A and B are shown apart, each in its own frame.
Chain A
C-alpha cells in the first residue's frame, strides 16, 4: 500500500514537474519557439508531353547534359520544384530571407540567402547575399510566380538555367518624385556560367536598373524600366554585356480586386557575350476573367547567330484560392527549318505556411 502510494505520488510529482518545466520560460530551458522564422513551402508538379525533346528549355548545350540527369527534359509526371522559404528579422536593423529549392527530387540548392536593411537614411535600401538580381521583370521571379511554365527563351539563353542569381549586393534608392521611381545599383561576384563562365576570384559584375511607374487612374498603372549588366567572361577573356528594357500596363479595378485583372507586358533583352550577340524578348497578356480563372497568352523569340526561334504559348489557370493553382499550357516552337515542336503541360502548385504578401 505505501509502495503504491509512493508510486502514485511519484507519478504525480513527475507529471507536475514536467508540466512546470513545459510552462517555464526559456530563461531556464534555453528552448524557445518565440523567435522562429516565418516558414512557407511551395511545391510545383508538372505533367507534360512534347513532340520534340531537344532544342527547348535548354538551348545552351552546356546544360543539356545536366538536364537529362535530373529529368528536366523527360516527359511524364514529375516534381518540378520544392521551395522552402524562411523569413525573419535578424535584429532591429536587418531582415533575412532564405530559400532552399529542390529541382526535381534529387538536387537541392540554396536558391537565395540575403539580408535587407530596415531604415537606412536618405531613401536607401541595401540587399546583400545571394539573390535573384534586379534585372528586368522576369529574372527576379521565383519559379512558382512565372507567368508561364518555362522562362522566356531569351532569359534562359542569356542568363542560363538558374537565371542571374549571384552573390553580391544591391543598393536601391527611391526617388523623391511624385511618381514612383527606383534606381538600383548592383555589384556581384560574377559566377553565372552563361555570362561569366563560373567562379573566378577577381571577376566582378555590375548591374544598373531604373524603373518608373505612373498611375494613369485609380485602376491602371504603367511602368517602364531599363537594365544593364556588365562583367568579364573568364573563359573567353572578353566582356559580357546585357541590356534590357521592359514596359508593363496593369489594370486592376478597385471594386473587383479579386475578380478582374489585366496585365500587358513586354520585355526585351540584348546580350553580347564574348562577341556573340543574341537578343530576344517576350510579350505577355494575362487576363483574370473571374475570381478563379485566368487566361494568358504570350509570344517570345530568340535571335542571333542561329536561326531565329519563335514560340507562342497559351495558358488557362484555375486558382481556387491564393494558396493553390492548376495551370494548363500549350506551346508551339518554330525554329528555322526544323519541325515545329508542340507541347502541352499541366502544372499544379500549392503554398503552405506563412501568408505571403502579394507583390504588385
Chain B
C-alpha cells in the first residue's frame, strides 16, 4: 500500500514536471516572425507559422485548420500594417481564444517596434491600388528591424512566461550581438561597389533598399497590387534604357512572367531574391535571408548575377 502511494506520488510529480516543461505555444503569421521567435525562445517556445515560405503573405487563405492553430495559441504574433488584413481577422474571430483577443498580452503587433517607411501623406483611397495606409509592411527586410522585433517578442515572452525570463534575455543578447556583427559585415560587403539601380515587382524592398543603399527606380506593378498593363511595361523598358538599369528584381513568390518579359525586352538580368525566411531550402534562419540577398547584390554590382 505504502509502495503504491509512493508510486502514485512519483507519477503525480512527473506529471507536474511535464506540465512545467510544456513549451509556450506561439503562432506567427509569417515565417520571418517564426524564425525570430525561435531564435529568442529556444526550447521554451513551440512556434507555428501560418504563411509558408513559398507564399505571398498578402494572399493567404483563411483555412479553418489555421483557426484551430490560433485557437490553441498562447501568443499570436503578427506583422501588422495591414499585411494580413485579408485573412487574419477571420482566424482570430473564428478561434474563440480569450488569450489572443485584441488588447490582451497574447496578441503582439510586431510592427509597433519599428519605424515605418512610405506612410502615405494625405488621403488614401483605392485609386492608388492596394496601398497600406499605415506604411510599408515589409520592414523585416532590414536586419536592424529584425533586432528591434526580436526585442519586442522577448518583452512579451517574459510577460507570459516569467519563469524563463533570464533565458529569453540571454538568447536575445546572443541573437542581437550576432546579428549586429553580421549586419556590419554585410554593410561592408555592400559598400564595396557603386550604387545599384533596379526595377522591382512590388514595393517589397523599400526597407532593404534604404539599408543596403539600393535604388529601386520603378515597379512592374503599376500600382500596389495592380498588375502591369502593356503600356506600363513599354514605359519601363524606355526608363531602363534611359537610366541604364540592368536588373529586374522579383520576390521569390512573385509571378515570373511579366518580370521575365521585361528583363528580355530591357536587356536586363532577372534576379529572384528571397523575401522571407523559408523562401528556399538554404534560407531557414533570419540571417540566411540577408546572406543570400547580400551575395546576390554583390554579384549584381560586380556584373555577374
Min Cβ gap B167→A in Å is 29
B54 within 8 A of A: yes
A30 within 8 A of B: no
Min Cβ gap A341→B in Å is 37
Q: Within the assembled complex, what's the spacing in Å between the Cα atoms of A352 and B59?
A: 19
Q: Within the assembled complex, what's the spacing in Å between the Cα atoms of A355 and B82?
A: 10
Min Cβ gap A74→B in Å is 33
The count of residues in chain B whose C-beta lies closer than 8 Å to any C-beta of chain A is 36
With most chain B CB atoms within 10 A of its CB, the pick from A119, A125, A182, A359 is: A119
Asked if A357 and B64 sit within 8 Å, CB to CB, the answer is no
Count, A-B residue pairs, CB within 8 A: 88
In-complex Cβ contact of B87 among A92, A352, A357 (8 A): A357
Residues in A whose Cβ lies below 8 Å from that of B82: 355
A257 within 8 A of B: yes
Q: Which residue of A lies closest to B88 (CB)?
A: A357
Min Cβ gap B250→A in Å is 13
Q: Within the assembled complex, what's the spacing in Å between the Cα atoms of A121 and B98?
A: 7
Q: Which residue of A lies closest to B56 (CB)?
A: A257
Asked if A358 and B101 sit within 8 Å, CB to CB, the answer is no
Asked if A218 and B87 sit within 8 Å, CB to CB, the answer is no
A16 within 8 A of B: no
The interface size bin for chain A is 35 or more
In-complex Cβ contact of B93 among A116, A179, A221, A256 (8 A): A116
Within 8 A of B (CB), among A232-288: 252, 254-259
B103 within 8 A of A: yes
Within 8 A of A (CB), among B41-94: 52, 54-56, 59-65, 67-68, 71, 82, 85-90, 93-94
B211 within 8 A of A: no
Residues in A whose Cβ lies below 8 Å from that of B126: 323, 352
B8 within 8 A of A: no
Within 8 A of B (CB), among A319-358: 321-323, 352, 355, 357-358
Residues in A whose Cβ lies below 8 Å from that of B96: 119-120, 123-125, 174
Q: Which residue of A lies closest to B60 (CB)?
A: A257
The 5 closest A-B pairs by CB, nearest first: A180-B64, A119-B98, A257-B59, A119-B101, A357-B89
